[in-house]
């Protein structure tokens, strides 16, 4: 049979990335972006849907009798009703392992920029402060080494573990993970864990690499920030709502922590009145637009795996299948 494949949001992958056509007979329809109210209409008659941010909910699936597979062009699948798909026999596949280099590298770019006050000094130089200095350098912002510092990590999965390896092997940091009820025996044998209160109180850098769940939602709130060192940094390249965003803004403004590097928000893009917007001129706050995942190498790996998943499904050997809860 010839499949009809509809890609709902091609703009979520950079235009220079090659998304190859699958190697089997098919019709191929691509949309740059798709609003939630357009999803059902655009997927009418489709046998395979490619989605990234366009939501596919149960009520939408009711109108899509031909749909056999949803290929998610990302790791997170919260935009798809997995249980509803399972009831209808629709296979859902996602992308795995593509960001093992790009996200940890971005996390350390934020950590290094904040810890060494790179952005702050760049602003001073651009403002002419070096031209006015009486000597070869000036000391308007603190600089600290990473060696010997505790690297607190929320999430001991592939990305958290990669961050730990970079911190320990590259910078001589001491990685410690958040303890929780689902830590595997194998991880306990090879990694150091601490309960949340102790991790907050002792970490010099706290970086987020855990999924957003009811247990992690707003895990880092004003009470958590008050338990942290005033010299500590927070970095989040995982899910925005792990941090209570109003509370982080308060913590930065009141000096409860030394700074934060953020790549993800609870709602993206942010509204004009988002609490982080008022922090953008502060030298100890960095906001990047959800691009930690977006190195050229990572996006090409994602695109290749996306089509691999589709080809494997059509060949009768589906890969990276996401199960319902």
Contact between 203 and 229 (Cβ < 8 Å): yes
Give ranges for CATH 3.40.50.720 in the chain.
3-98+297-314, 102-287
Q: What is the pLDDT of residue 1?
A: 73
Select which of 10, 26, 227, 290 is catalytic. Answer: 290
CATH architecture of 102-287: 3-Layer(aba) Sandwich (3.40)
Whole-angstrom distance, CA of residue 177 vs CA of residue 160: 8
Residues lower than pLDDT 70 in the chain: 324-325
Select which of 168, 215, 253, 268 is catalytic. Answer: 268
Q: What is the pLDDT of residue 324?
A: 66
CATH architecture of 3-98+297-314: 3-Layer(aba) Sandwich (3.40)
Buried b (16+ CB within 10 A) or exposed e, 45-70: ebbbbbbbbbebeeebbeebeebbbb
Question: Is 239 assigned a catalytic role?
Answer: yes
What backbone phi and psi angles, to 5 degrees, belong to 179? Answer: -80, 140
Select which of 115, 209, 239, 274 is catalytic. Answer: 239
Rg (CA), the chain: 22
Question: Is 290 assigned a catalytic role?
Answer: yes
Q: What share of the chain is helix, strand, coil (3-state, %, to 5)?
A: 35, 15, 50
Question: Is 215 assigned a catalytic role?
Answer: no
């Amino acid at each position: 049979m010839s499949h009809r494949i509809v890609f709902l949001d091609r703009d979520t992958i950079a235009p220079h990335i090659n998304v190859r056509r699958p190697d089997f007979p098919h019709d191929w329809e691509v949309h740059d972006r798709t609003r939630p109210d357009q999803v059902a209409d655009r997927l009418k008659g489709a046998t395979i849907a490619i989605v990234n941010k366009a939501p596919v909910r149960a009520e939408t699936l009711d109108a899509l009798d031909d749909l056999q597979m949803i290929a998610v062009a990302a790791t997170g699948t919260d935009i798809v009703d997995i249980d509803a798909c399972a009831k209808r026999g629709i296979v859902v596949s996602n992308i795995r392992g593509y960001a093992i280099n790009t996200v940890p590298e971005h996390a350390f770019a934020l950590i290094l920029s904040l810890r060494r006050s790179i952005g702050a000094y760049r602003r001073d130089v651009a403002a002419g402060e070096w031209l006015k200095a009486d000597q070869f350098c000036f000391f308007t912002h603190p600089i600290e080494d990473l060696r010997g510092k505790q690297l607190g990590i929320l999430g001991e999965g592939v990305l958290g573990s990669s961050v730990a390896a970079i911190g320990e092997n590259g910078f001589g940091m001491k990685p410690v993970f958040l303890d929780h009820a689902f830590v595997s025996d194998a991880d306990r044998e090879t990694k150091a864990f601490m309960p949340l209160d102790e991790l907050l109180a002792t970490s010099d850098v706290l970086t987020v690499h855990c999924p957003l769940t009811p247990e992690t939602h707003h895990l880092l709130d004003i009470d958590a920030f008050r338990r942290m060192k005033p010299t500590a940094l927070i970095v989040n390249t995982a899910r925005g709502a792990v941090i209570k965003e109003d509370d982080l803004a308060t913590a930065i403004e009141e000096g409860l922590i030394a700074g934060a590097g953020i790549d993800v928000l609870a709602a993206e893009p942010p509204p004009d009145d988002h609490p982080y917007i008022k922090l953008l001129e502060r030298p100890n706050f960095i906001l990047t637009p959800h691009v930690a995942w977006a190195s050229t190498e990572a996006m090409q790996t994602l695109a290749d795996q996306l089509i691999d998943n589709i080809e494997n499904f059509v060949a009768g050997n589906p890969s990276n299948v996401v199960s319902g809860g």
